[in-house]
Chains A and B, each alone.
Chain A
Amino acid sequence: MNRRQFIRLISQGLLGAGLVPRLAFAGQPNEKRPLQFVFAQIKYRGGDWNPHPLSVTPLMEELMARTSVEPATVRHDIMLTDRDLFNYPFLYLTGKYEFEPFSQEEVETLRRFLSYGGFLLIDDALGQQGYGFDKAVRREMQRVFPGNEFKRLPSGHAALRSYYLLRRIGGVRIVSPNLEGINVGNSTPVVYCQNDLGGAWERDQLGKWTNACTPGGEGQRKDAFHLGINLILYAMTENYKEDLIHVPFIRKRLTR
């Protein structure tokens, strides 16, 4: 039971005693509560599409605790050929090893997905530039967006300011201090992290962290959670934090 569920339970007890207005928590039972976000992970052929099977739930719990988003606590696994792919505008692609090329249909579907409002977070669990997963990802994204290469995200990018004001990129290991992304128009529908974010999020059944984060330890893990939350909120609000009304506030906080 997480904190929010606990508060609901207490409140519903008060509700029975008539101490809280009836509508205050007129929500649905947990299993049918309205979900605003589902973390969907891409299954692909070859390689290892699922290096951290328990990584998503801790991130979703963190998302629920810190933000107003109501996420599903378990992830949804999906293939690019599945008919309901577009029900999940946020996709997560991770792995350690080189995988088989996408079919032409998958490439076109992914291009359509990303061009019309979908978002893809790519996470390299191996962290070897030019080898394994990194090599396969760069090859496939070139097929999805020919001529549109990964570029380093500037420090002022909206994805780094969508909730937390991020100055560092976390993960199990710091292979790169920066994120990369592919820009389409005014947005960045593809963000690539090589620091193994999933490894930092993952917790075993007993609640212990599966992987140690080096060299930054728990601070580095915290950064990984912050980045995960930021990227989810960026996907759902796009360049919201670049609206003029936010600029002076953010600038003031960054200059403190």
Chain B
Amino acid sequence: MGIIEIFLQPLFWMIMGMLYALVIVSARYWARDLGLNMNWWKWLLTGLWFVMLSLFVAGGMTLIGENEIQGGIYFLGFFLVLMLILGVGLWRLLTFNRKKADA
């Protein structure tokens, strides 16, 4: 392991951790700004979707990192398209009977 990796690897995970913390902390403010009437099961579904998205990106990237490039690309391609479809479905569910923020 080179000197750059010794510093870069923890730095990468620190930035990643900060970004995740930022997403989680600011989620309720985004929901409010978007005029979403969130309740416990909507938060649960949103959380599940986000965790699944993170896991699939991590899984695909791990495959690519382990030199299974074709497998990684197929994995990412399949699951990202699936997550996009589920994301659109989730968005429809969250915006059902939505009150506009500026209304």
User: Are chains A and B native binding partners rather than an unrelated pairing?
Assistant: no
Interface residues of B (CB under 8 A from A): none
